[in-house]
Amino acid sequence: MMATLPPATSPSRQPPGPEDEEASLDEYDLYGLAHPHVAGGGRKGRTKREAAAHTNRPSPGGHERKLVTKFQNSERKKAQR
């Protein structure tokens, strides 16, 4: 036995027209539609300019900090002996 599906939209229930839609909007909805906000201003943290300025850029010399720390530790161990 196959189940029959109800019609997608009944003729009595049609989507609201523009005149019906304005009646359901209050003053805050109308303000939001009249004054769209600019996207991107509400982010947390860094701006795009700050993020670009403070990135980990590759160093042409390699791992200087790692090598310096290694040599400093080896010198410290030699002095302790």
Identify the helix (H) or strand (E) that includes residue 48.
helix 48-53
Q: How far apart are CA 81 and CA 76, in angstroms?
A: 9
The domain limits of the chain are 23-54
What digits encode the pLDDT tens for the residues 24-70? 888 888 888 888 776 666 667 888 888 888 887 777 766 788 888 89
Q: What is the pTM of this model?
A: 0.27
Q: How far apart are CA 33 and CA 24, in angstroms?
A: 14
DSSP annotation of 41 reads T
